[in-house]
Amino acid sequence: MFQYLLLESIPALRETFSRYSAADNVQYKLTTDSNLVGKRIAWERIEVGPLLSRGAFGEVWACRYAGKKVAVKRLLQTKKLTFQETAKFINEIQLTASLKHPHIVRFIGVAWSSLENLAMVEEFLPRGDLQQFLKRSGDLMTWARDKVDMAIGIAKAIDYLHSRQVIHRDLKARNILLTKRLQPKLIDFGTSRVWKLNDMTAGIGTPFWTAPEYFYHVESR
């Protein structure tokens, strides 16, 4: 009887050990990454404000930290999180923290008291995303005065990423935020990854915004 119970419990034991191992790995990344050392923020120091946006896996809140307005991104709290989702978010945090460019959103810190409430703190950009801004005020903008500068700023951000072998993979107007002076800043590196030859995943990103040559490459595989 004891042997039968032991055999029956093996899958559950394996899952438990796997969960502990994954949790330890995530904690290790958070505490040893050179870009995250000294960047931990106590949740008690963050004043949570209104919800700004919500996607399939994450949500962004307008908050206050150290007397300034910030944006706080975390995984959805309305669903049970898997370690795969948490690990993917950790990778996004690590990548964002490593990026330093005037046209990429500035990383401020990371907050967590448990893996379930892990959050990334970034600078707050008051003008919102480019897509909504163009809908509201696009008719008032001119190429000579506004749009060329925006396009150049975005191109510089992409050039910086590519110089580090990073592919964004979801470049679109909603993933570009604007400063008070209408300077663009690239956000959302959840689908980004370091480029390796013949090692890119098909079907990532938003199809409407995907370059046509990418689809040609996928079709020809």
Q: Which residues are catalytic?
A: 170
Are 107 and 37 contacting, i.e. CB atoms less than 8 angstroms apart?
no
Three state DSSP letters for the chain: CHHHHHHHHHHHHHHHHHHHHHHHHHHHHHHHCCCCCCCEECHHHEEEEEEEEECCCEEEEEEEECCEEEEEEEECCCCCCCHHHHHHHHHHHHHHHHCCCCCECCEEEEECCCHHHCEEEEECCCCCEHHHHHHHHHHHCCHHHHHHHHHHHHHHHHHHHHHCCEECCCCCHHHEEECCCCCEEECCCCCCEECCCCCCCCCCCCHHHCCHHHHHHHHCC
